[in-house]
Chains A and B, each alone.
Chain A
Amino acid sequence: MRNILVFIIRYHFLLLFVLLEIFAITLLVNSTYYQSSAILKAGSRVTGRFYTSISNATDYLKLRTTNEQLAQENAMLRQMKGVSFLKNDTSSFWVNDTLYKQQYQYIVSKVVLNTVGKRNNYIMLDKGSRSGIKKDMAVITSNGIVGTVVNVSENFSWVMSLLNKHTRISGRIIKNNQMGTVVWNGVDHMYGTLTDIPAHVKIAKGDTIVSSGYSYIFPAGILMGTISDFRVEQGDHFYIIPFKFSVDFNALQYVYVVKNLMKDEQETLEKSTEGIQNE
């Protein structure tokens, strides 16, 4: 007995080493054992709270990816919204008919190039024909209308923003349903101009302007801005209405490209009607 004690005291370093090694390796090999899971469980009570507060801080570093995901999801949800569907006539009954038929699809895209300071401003998006973007599609954000696609390559598209001499978009004042044309005078990227509203109509500052829907490009009712001022030039019968854009063109990040699934049908119909009238 005494000899054993002497042995233990003499070789305690080696013995303790072997003992601890065996214990550690047993933990490692049998990590499904109750003991080890109990240790990890007790540990995780502390480490869990610890890592939660750490991830609260580090989440900020992942905001970019998170934003992208949310934008994707928004595009998907927008696609399911009622506005995106053309209501079918319900007075007649079709067997394989559905109440709503999809008219607009939304493709989320990122702005890679953007100017606001020129007379004619364009925006470049990081998606092109490969993602289904075509010429003459609308570009919007959740805040309102941004512009129209004017050219596409395989992976990029070129958008004419509202801040352009050639912009002419049909707009409507929500309050009284008056239709006008939105143009940009090239001075301030915050303000556009609504024209062609007859002078006898009553309008007020703060009235909201939306897209009229009288085009093959833009869905109806998409926000454009709010009236900030109005005047009638002498001898003219139409208002000149400066309005504040709802979109901050200087801070564009993610946009939706709107695809009108029924554009071809609409255009064909228009052409054939013209043909009939020309006869």
Chain B
Amino acid sequence: MNRLVLTNIFRFIALVLIQVLIMNKVNFYGFLNPYIYILFILLLPFETPGWLLLLLSFATGLTVDIFSGTLGLHAASSVFAGFMRPLIISFVGEKPEYDITTQPKLQQMGLKWFMAYALLMIFAHHLFLNLLDVFSFDEFWQTLLRVIVSTLFTFLFIMLFEYIFAPRKEKR
């Protein structure tokens, strides 16, 4: 249990650093804005209580906000993603047997499950974030294109992340 907390703290720090140092500088024609810190919310254990999930999401978003100078934007989107998480998990379905330490990871849940779960989560987060940022439905299609492109990019990074960091630990 302790190790799980430590892993998550480490993951939090690493993801926020990558986000503010590298991903925030990625800006391809103003369309590509990957937000990979969402992976932290994705990988919290299944048994995380709801209130903790929301509070952790909020903290993640606020941290990124403070570093990016967009107070509230990422916090709101992260809380939304945290709120959607249980719904998406039950929607993706096939809840396997898990103990308290099981995390929604690629190695434990299988490729198909994880891809569906990750895509839905990222899309929910990016859609909320971009709509909140634009704050109007005037250029909805343009916003949607931005959301889709960024979602795919974030998804790519997250899959890479999973493949790079996970396997060794699980096989031990």
Contact = CB atoms under 8 A, between A and B. Distances in A.
Interface bin, chain A: 20 to 34
Contacts of B75: 20, 23-24, 27
B76 A25 contact: yes
Interface stretch (A36-44, A81-89, A228-236): A36-44
Contacts of B58: 20, 24
B34 interface: no
A7 interface: no
Contact of B72 (A12, A17, A27): A27
B50 A12 contact: yes
B66 A40 contact: yes
Interface string B20-35: 0100000000000000
A21 B80 contact: yes
B61 A24 contact: yes
Q: Which of B50, B79, B83 has the most CB of A within 10 A?
A: B79
B96 interface: no
Contact of A17 (B69, B73, B83, B132): B83
Contacts of B80: 17, 21
Interface in A228-258: none
A47 B67 CA distance: 6
Interface in A190-241: none
A28 interface: yes
B20 to A, nearest CB: 8
Contacts of A44: 66
A26 interface: yes
Q: Which of A12, A24, A25, A44 has the most CB of B within 10 A?
A: A24
A77 interface: no
Q: Which of A20, A26, A36 has the most CB of B within 10 A?
A: A20
A39 B66 contact: yes
A262 interface: no
B42 interface: no
A216 to B, nearest CB: 51
Interface bin, chain B: 20 to 34
A20 B83 CA distance: 10
Contacts of B83: 13, 17
Contacts of A17: 54, 79-80, 82-83
A7 to B, nearest CB: 15
A54 B55 CA distance: 29
A28 B72 contact: yes
A169 B76 CA distance: 72
Interface in B105-140: 132
Nearest to A43: B66
Given A17-B79, A36-B71, A43-B66, A28 B132 contact: yes
Contacts of B54: 13, 16-17, 20
B10 interface: no
A24 B54 CA distance: 12
A31 interface: yes
Given A16-B54, A24-B72, 7 more contacts: A17-B83, A20-B55, A21-B80, A24-B61, A24-B62, A31-B71, A36-B71
Closest 7 CB pairs of A and B: A28-B72, A27-B72, A43-B66, A24-B76, A13-B50, A24-B75, A17-B83
Interface of A: 12-13, 16-17, 20-21, 23-29, 31, 36, 39-40, 43-44, 47, 50, 54
28 contacts: A12-B51, A16-B50, A16-B54, A16-B55, A17-B80, A17-B82, A20-B58, A20-B75, A21-B76, A21-B79, A23-B75, A24-B58, A24-B75, A24-B76, A24-B79, A26-B72, A27-B71, A28-B70, A28-B132, A31-B72, A36-B71, A36-B72, A39-B71, A40-B69, A43-B66, A44-B66, A47-B67, A54-B21
